[in-house]
């Protein structure tokens, strides 16, 4: 195996979510398809490097040079509310809903013993520093509704209660999704919809 291939495998294996075997499979697929597969990826990497960055305050993706991002600096948004998500992509989904006008914070992950992600891998220090600034009165947890998301939310709720006891912690409501119904819903969704009935 000549060196350029081994180097590519090694670089791909640095990406979160790609183990060594998957990195080798990905490198093989790229090399086998050649420039038609490699050029778009190489160009996308360079364009992202030059064009965007992660906001150093909330973690949202922002045009390079606009840091803190528009969501952090917009004076019309409410400093008293801080919505916590797993990834910046979640911020976009919430913005599309038009239902939230506060600030954001991306954890850049979730607690996952299975994949070896612990509290130290999340942006928890930055979150607690923002709470210490004193403006935030409510932390809204908008984490995935699965076991790891629940565990992360419980752990965050406890940590915020201990470190910033004046801040209220809420979670998005559980229940039936829109355009769905009882017969299409899994048992856990139904149990949560029944328990949270209004």
Q: Name the residues that contact a second copy, by CB under 8 A.
A: 1-5, 7-8, 10-12, 14-18, 21-22, 24-32, 34-35, 37-42, 44-54, 59, 61-63, 87-89, 92, 108-109
Looking at the Cβ atoms of 22 and 159, the one nearer to a second copy is 22
Helices 147-163 and 124-132: crossing angle in degrees, nearest 10, is 40
Structure tokens at 115: 């994949």
- Tokens 């350029």 belong to 4
Nearer to a second copy, 1 or 195 (CB): 1
Strand-pair category, 61-63 with 78-85: unpaired
Alpha-carbon gap, residue 135 to 97, rounded angstroms: 24
Output the smallest distance, CB 84 to a second copy, in A. Answer: 16
3-state DSSP assignment of residue 113: helix
Residue 96 beta carbon to a second copy: minimum distance, rounded to whole angstroms? 11
Choice between 14 and 162, CB closer to a second copy:
14
Based on CB atoms, which residue is closest to a second copy, 81 or 117?
117
Question: Looking at the DSSP assignment, which residues form a beta bridge with residue 81?
Answer: 138
Q: How far is the CB of 25 from a second copy (least distance, A)?
A: 5
Least separation in angstroms between residue 73's CB and a second copy is: 16
To a second copy, the closest distance from the beta carbon of 196 in angstroms equals: 26
State the CB neighbour count (10 A cutoff) for residue 50: 9
Paired tokens of 9: 């495998």
How does strand 52-54 pair with strand 61-63? Answer: antiparallel
> Would you say 6 or 132 has its CB closer to a second copy?
6
């Amino acid at each position: 195996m000549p060196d350029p291939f081994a180097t590519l495998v090694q670089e791909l294996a640095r990406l979160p979510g790609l183990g060594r075997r998957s990195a080798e499979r990905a490198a093989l697929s790229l090399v086998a398809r050649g420039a038609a597969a490699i050029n778009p990826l190489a160009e996308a990497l360079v364009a992202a490097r030059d064009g965007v960055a992660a906001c150093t305050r909330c973690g949202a993706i922002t045009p390079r040079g606009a840091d803190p991002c528009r969501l952090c600096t917009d004076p019309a948004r409410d400093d008293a509310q801080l919505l916590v998500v797993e990834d910046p992509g979640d911020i976009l989904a919430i913005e599309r809903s038009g239902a939230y006008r506060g600030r954001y914070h991306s954890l850049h992950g979730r607690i996952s013993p299975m994949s070896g992600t612990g509290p130290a891998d999340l942006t928890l220090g930055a979150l607690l520093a923002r709470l210490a600034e004193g403006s935030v009165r409510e932390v809204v947890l908008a984490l995935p509704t699965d076991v790891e998301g629940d565990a992360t939310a419980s752990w965050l709720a406890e940590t915020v209660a201990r470190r910033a006891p004046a801040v209220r912690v809420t979670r998005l409501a559980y229940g039936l999704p829109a355009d769905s119904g009882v017969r299409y819903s899994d048992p856990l969704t139904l149990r949560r919809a029944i328990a949270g009935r209004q």
